[in-house]
Structure 1
Amino acid sequence: MTAAKRVLVLGGTNFDIIVQAEKFPEEHEKVRGNECAALPGGSAANTALGLARQGCEVRLVSAVGDDALGRLCLDDLRAGGVDTGSIRVDTATRTSMAIVISSGTGKRMMTFPGADREPAYRAVTEADVRNVDHVHVVGEPTSALGRVVGLARRVGRSVSVEWNGRDMRTLAQGPGLNLMNADEAGHLPDARSGDAAATARWYAQQLAGDVILTLGADGALWAGPSGAVVHEPTMAVEPVDRTGGGDAFNAGVIAGRLLGEPPSACLRRGLDAALHVITKIGAHP
């Protein structure tokens, strides 16, 4: 039996309040919601849980507050098979939160910062990195996060970076997976207007790494540094809530890559994982 791939994930853990409605409210308008859920979330936490569901051994480096919401987040991660030993419990502040209004086809989000993750990142050692096969990072490209990425590259561990609307080039130079959606890619400094494939190809060549874009109903594409682009379609569904869909996709792609699957199969794995998430409210399948 092949040993499970080991992944170190660094990034945010927060508590989500998600409201599903037919449309977004206008100024002074009251809109009746269809469903409401309050549950643990955060891009890194969601991806860690997704990787665990994909059969990986996952350790999450993050932070929560010393409060009831933080304890709910930790319990949820442990129940999902994620090692929480590197999650810092910050006694000085609250757990980060997010409020999401989801219309199915789109969403609006407000985030509320809480526990500081930087000390948890700084506590990661070279031995921690050597003990895994892959490092996945989400969040602002700080020096603490960059140090861990540098360690991973130095000891020969593969790396993936979730761009999440940020310019992550300071962390993403060199071989690795760069994960983003087409809307985010379209706002990058060197985006090719209206051409997601050309944008992905240009960044893949500049970074000397792979760029993976989700395209909504059009599936996803994978651009390699050689200039080759692979497109994978997806099944048409009526989305209920897109929260966590990208995180589930990322987990599927990373797991496929660690198993040695070709880009088309990695994209298919990621798209299938996302479909399980976006057809319900909340990021858990």
Structure 2
Amino acid sequence: MSRAKRVLVVGGTNFDVIAQAERLPLEHEKLRGTACAVTPGGAGANTAAGLVRQGCSVRLASAVGGDTAGMMCLQALRERGVDTSLVRVEAGARTSTAVVLSSGGGKRMMTFAGADRGLAFDAVTEGDVRGCDHVHVVGEPTQALRRIVALAHGAGRSVSVEWNGRDMSDLAAKASLNFMNADEAARVPQASAADAATNARRCADLVSGDVIVTMGPEGALWATADGQLFHQPTTPVDPVDRTGGGDAFDAGVIAGWLNGEPPAACMRRGLDAALHVLRKVGAHP
């Protein structure tokens, strides 16, 4: 029996407050919601939990505050099988929070910074990196993240980068996989906003690595560094809540790729994982 792939996820942990309604409110409108939930969240934590569901052994480098919200997040992650030994608990700080207004197909989000995750990233050692097979990073392209990516590259460990609305090109040069959505791919230099396939190929050429682009109901594209392009359709659904769908997709693709599956199978894994999340409120089961 083969050993589970060991993944180090470096990213944020949030306490999510998700308010759901049939539509988003208008200016000055008091709209009655249909559901409200509080749940652990954050792209790093969501992806870590998703990778566990995909059969990986996962360690998360992140930070929470020493408040009730932070303890709830830690407990939930541990219950889901995530190794939280690299999650820094900052006494006196609050846990980062996200407030999400969700209307099924639509979403608006506000985030509030909390515990300093940069200090948690600074504490990651070369030994921590060598103890894994793969490193996945998400967050601001800070010096702390650059150091971890450089450690992974020096140790011969593969790296994936979630762009998440940011310019992660300085980290992408050392990444095997780059994740972005269609809007992010359309913002790269010389992109053609109307042609996702051209944008995906352009991104792959710029970063000299594989780029995976999610396109909502149109599925996903995979552009390789050598010019190949793969498209994988998805199953149309009416989403209950989109929170964490992209993180679940990343987890499925990474797990498939680490198991040597071809791009189509990896994207199918990711899309199925995203569909599971889109059918409920919040990113965690």
TM value normalised by structure 2: 0.98
Contact 2:188 2:203 in 1 (8 A): no
TM-aligned CA distance change 1:175 to 1:45, over 3 Å:
closer
Counterpart of 1:86 in structure 2 is 86
Helix, strand or coil at the partner of 1:151: helix
Counterpart of 2:11 in structure 1 is 11
Distance 1:190 1:102 in 2: 33
Match runs of 1:1-285 below 5 Å: 1-285=1-285
Contact 1:165 1:185 in 2 (8 A): no
Distance 1:243 1:61 in 2: 21
Helix, strand or coil at the partner of 1:12: coil
Quote the offset at 1:284 in angstroms.
1.6
TM-aligned CA distance change 1:175 to 1:68, over 3 Å:
closer
TM-aligned CA distance change 1:91 to 1:3, over 3 Å:
same
Residue identity matched to 1:280: K
* Structure 1 segments (4+ residues) deviating >4 Å: none
CA-to-aligned-CA distance 1:163-214 (integer Å, 9 cap, x gap): 0010100111144110011122223344322111111111111211110011
Distance 1:250 1:243 in 2: 13
Contact 1:63 1:90 in 2 (8 A): yes
Helix, strand or coil at the partner of 1:178: strand
Identical pairs, percent: 66
Residue identity matched to 2:221: L
Distance 2:87 2:271 in 1: 29
Aligned pairs, how many? Answer: 285
CA-to-aligned-CA distance 1:228-266 (integer Å, 9 cap, x gap): 110000011110100000000000000000000000000
Distance 1:184 1:43 in 2: 16
Quote the offset at 1:119 in angstroms.
1.1
Q: Unpaired segments of 5 or more residues in structure 2?
A: none
CA-to-aligned-CA distance 1:13-60 (integer Å, 9 cap, x gap): 010000111111111011111111111110110000000011100000
Helix, strand or coil at the partner of 1:114: coil
Residue identity matched to 2:49: L
CA-to-aligned-CA distance 1:63-96 (integer Å, 9 cap, x gap): 0000100000000000000000000001131000
Helix, strand or coil at the partner of 1:84: strand
Helix, strand or coil at the partner of 1:28: coil
TM-aligned CA distance change 1:145 to 1:238, over 3 Å:
same
Distance 1:152 1:63 in 2: 21
How big is the alpha-carbon RMSD for the aligned residues of Structure 1 and Structure 2?
0.9
Distance 1:203 1:109 in 2: 26
Helix, strand or coil at the partner of 1:217: helix
